[in-house]
Amino acid sequence: MPDKPPARKMRIAVLTSGGDSAGMNAVVRSIVKSAILKGCETYVVREGYEGLVRGNSEAVSSVPTSSNAKEHHRSESPLASGDADSFVHNLRFGDGELLRDGTGDHPGGRSLKGRYIVRVGWDDVRGWFSQGGTLIGTARSVVFRTYEGRLTAASNLIKEGIDAIAVCGGDGSLTGADVFRAEWPKLVAELATQGRITPEQAKAHAHLRIVGLVGSIDNDMSMTDLTIGAPTALHRICEAIDNIDSTAFSHSRAFVLEVMGRHCGWLALLAGVSGGADFIFIPERPPEADSWEDEMCKMIQRHREIGKRKTIVIVAEGAHDKHLNPIRAEYVKDVLTERLGLDTRVTTLGHTQRGGRPCAYDRLLPTLQGVEAVEALLEATPDTPSYMIGVAENKITRVPLMDAVRMTNEVTQAIKDKDFDKAMSLRDPEFRESLEGFYATSILEKEPRLPHHMRMRVAIMHVGAPAGGMNAATRAAVRYCIRQGHKPFAIHNGFPGLLDDNVHQLSWLGVDNWMTRGGSELGTNRKLPDIDLGAVAAKFQQWNFHALMLIGGFEAFTSLLTLETGRKHYPAFNIPMVHLPATISNNVPMTEFSLGSDTSLNALVDACDAIKQSASASRNRVFVVETQGGKCGYLATMGALAVGACIVYTPETGIDLDKLRNDVKFLKKRYTLDMKGRSEGRLVLRNEVSSNVYTTDVITKMFKEEGGKLFDSRSASLGHTLQGGIPSPMDRARAVRLSLKCMAFIEQHHALLQKQSGSGKPRQASPESAAVITIQASALKWVPVQEMVPHADMENRRGKNERWMRFVDLVEALVARPQILEKA
């Protein structure tokens, strides 16, 4: 049972600690907003644990910080449930501007000097998540590591009446959080004995609620797939590799890139996978051979011999050989220059990896984790462990903080003990699969792995609209096929291309640059196989395909369904057939993720950041931004969450007059609550087919008319820009991982069919052998295509129970729509 809530509003503070990472501001924003919605009072602690120890000097903390700061210690009411009055009370305390300013001083005389635990409201954190780093400051606090330091920190928290803290930082910061919570009863007792707090205060603060969110660019925390900031750092690295690529190719050069990661090779590994590197060095899996230089040179020489003009080697800063001797980028460069005579350069990316605007995922993940963190704090009891908020595939998770910290330390220890198998086993499955994916797609082996009788002719086809990651998935499949001894065939231009015999065998080198290419290198087509199913079957037979991989969206799903159904009449379809979802609309039933959707969200975030800046620059302006997505509102909804849009229109919910009337009411009220004299831009996202009548143009004109003197309105249509240019690193890495799973699936079902043929029975593929690879909550699942039919809305070309639909409510909650409308 949760604690009985205190007889006053709960006070929640958030701090960022350790190295900064992109997405920390989104954590603060999400926690502040979620906590206010739950009726709590919200605080930020500046400069991490250092700020907790420094606290607020009495003289300064009594200075009012804004017009309503005099109510700072006013409310002793029971824990409210986010009612409208309490919302308006929590709107603004004025310190957001000072924090954003970075100086902590305001010409008007307000100052943050001497104040480290600062009351903040809803609008104080507005728009924070488009900024990199952390606006509330971070530090590495030596004094917090001491008992005395933590005693003072506890005293400061109690004096400010803080009941709960959310800590966003790396493993060190979360270790500190756990130590603090474990010691809390002792600290409180000692403060009471020393007379530094009253017995009442000791009683009211007998239990400290604490939650951890992992902000770290290294992705070095166990028990979570991703840490906040790691995806953005990966973006920065891949941008650098993509830039280096062209010069490396032009001059036939080798580049050795050093990337961050002292104890964790995630950045180097994922950069290697997504950037199509030739060789990587990571701490968890050092080269097996003592003479790793020979191994590396042999490999690179083999790549060069078949005509590769560029070489990319990635070295994690903590890389070493199996005896723990460091492997440095400069040394790798010398080896490549001296032994292979390559013109080799070193690029050390350093702090550029930390910086810059957060990518879409580093806005979504912290937003969702912040909501969960507040829930965890509200539900915490003295008997429950402190939690760390993590993510598994697509699901936000809670895991005991100490278990995650312990497991993370075990990896470090295993590396120190040279037990690299253990270090790898302690990393999450995605890490291991990515490493396998790197070997499978980057290393050209001398001989195929499979004996002749197990080798296949694998057809690969793109169906439907292009999406980021299609080419990366194809490249991975091709390279895997070649490693095994299969022959990969490209079918160009979809089913019409097959009927025209537009088919050719792909080579290892031919797909080399495909990781970074957007669109579809094979050429894609929306036509389904039922244009002439018999002729399609005849072509399957003519080309003697043993397996088919379809990469695409709803059309690819429908095609697979048609082919599977066609097995009754056409034996040529009795082969393993897979569909790897790739569509920016993310409308394939039963899967929460399609390749291309991350690229598209990033294109949307980039465009909306620029639009929002323009919308705020001159006067109050509401921009109605139209997105693609067909009859699926995924892109509009997740885009709205990622850019902080205040209204989202989707085809699933539609648009009617009542909704529009309420939207206008909401916007008017919202603009009247804004700070006078400051112009604010707001975004509204509308999926292109949300309504035939209430078009983007109609809505824009309506808002303009109704906005009067309060706000103006303009529209922007993002159109095909949302297909993105260069695919995002997440799409590329996921493409490799999922593509290899498809290949394993095909091999497994091919072997079953071969067994069947060997027994003399007629060849009949099972329904399970025509399947779609899906991501459902925290798991990857194969779903036979026929089993997907009940979950598909064939008319609207989308899934029936789309899990992302719940986020429509979250978009509205995070702009306090219900509370603001209630005040209207």
| Active site residue ranges | 218
Of 101-109, 140-148, 451-459, 464-472, the window that binds ligand ATP (rule: CB under 6 A) is 140-148
Residue at token pair 């939207």: 663
Interface residue with ligand ATP, options 51, 176, 437, 633 (CB under 6 A)? 176
290 assigned ligand-binding residue: no
Detail the DSSP E strand segments found in 590-734: 621-627, 647-649, 681-687, 712-717
Instruction: Answer yes or no whether residue 216 interacts with ligand ATP by CB under 6 A.
Output: yes
Query: What's the longest Cα–Cα distance across the chain?
Result: 91
Binding mask 759-788 for ligand ATP (x = CB under 6 A): ------------------------------
- Give the number of other CB atoms < 10 A from CB of residue 693: 8
Number of amino acids touching ligand ATP (CB under 6 A): 18
Binding mask 641-680 for ligand ATP (x = CB under 6 A): ----------------------------------------
Instruction: Answer yes or no whether residue 137 interacts with ligand ATP by CB under 6 A.
Output: no
Q: DSSP class of residue 514? A: G
CA distances for 310 relative to 301, 304, 342, 513, 702, angstroms: 11, 8, 10, 10, 55
583 assigned ligand-binding residue: yes
Instruction: Answer yes or no whether residue 145 interacts with ligand ATP by CB under 6 A.
Output: yes
Structure tokens at 278: 């030739």
Instruction: Answer yes or no whether residue 353 interacts with ligand ATP by CB under 6 A.
Output: no
User: Dihedral through CA 216, CA 220, CA 224, CA 230, nearest 10?
Assistant: 40
CA distance 645 to 301: 51
Instruction: Answer yes or no whether residue 175 interacts with ligand ATP by CB under 6 A.
Output: yes
Q: Which of residues 9-68 bind ligand ATP (CB under 6 A)?
A: 17-19, 49
Task: State the residue number with the nearest CB to ligand ATP.
Answer: 172
Instruction: Answer yes or no whether residue 144 interacts with ligand ATP by CB under 6 A.
Output: yes
Instruction: Answer yes or no whether residue 140 interacts with ligand ATP by CB under 6 A.
Output: yes
Interface residue with ligand ATP, options 51, 170, 261, 366 (CB under 6 A)? 170
198 assigned ligand-binding residue: no
In a 13 Å sphere around the CA of 299, the CA atoms on its Cβ side amount to 19
Tally helices (H) and strands (E) across the chain: 28, 24
CA distance 665 to 824: 7
- Give the number of other CB atoms < 10 A from CB of residue 689: 18
566 assigned ligand-binding residue: no
Interface residue with ligand ATP, options 173, 311, 586, 591 (CB under 6 A)? 173
CA distance 557 to 463: 9
In a 13 Å sphere around the CA of 165, the CA atoms on its Cβ side amount to 34
Using CB atoms within 10 A of its CB, is residue 148 exposed (0-12), middle (13-18) or buried (19+)?
Answer: exposed
Interface residue with ligand ATP, options 163, 171, 372, 731 (CB under 6 A)? 171
If the CB atoms of residues 168 and 256 are measured against ligand ATP, the closer one turns out to be: 168
Shortest separation between residue 636's beta carbon and ligand ATP, angstroms: 35
CA distance 716 to 696: 9
243 assigned ligand-binding residue: no
3-class DSSP state of 192: helix
If the CB atoms of residues 52 and 188 are measured against ligand ATP, the closer one turns out to be: 52
Instruction: Answer yes or no whether residue 141 interacts with ligand ATP by CB under 6 A.
Output: yes
Characterize 421-431 residue by residue with b for buried, 16 or more Cβ atoms within 10 angstroms of its Cβ, and e for exposed.
eebbebbbebb
714 assigned ligand-binding residue: yes
Structure tokens at 806: 């719940």
Shortest separation between residue 21's beta carbon and ligand ATP, angstroms: 7
Annotated binding site for substrate: 216-218, 253, 260-262, 317, 345, 351-354
Give binding residues as ranges: 19, 140-141, 170-173, 216-218, 253, 260-262, 317, 345, 351-354, 526, 583-587, 621, 628-630, 688, 714, 797
Give the footprint of ligand ATP on this chain (CB under 6 A). Answer: 17-19, 49, 140-141, 144-145, 169-173, 175-176, 179, 216, 218
Task: Give the residue numbers of the binding site for Mg(2+).
Answer: 171
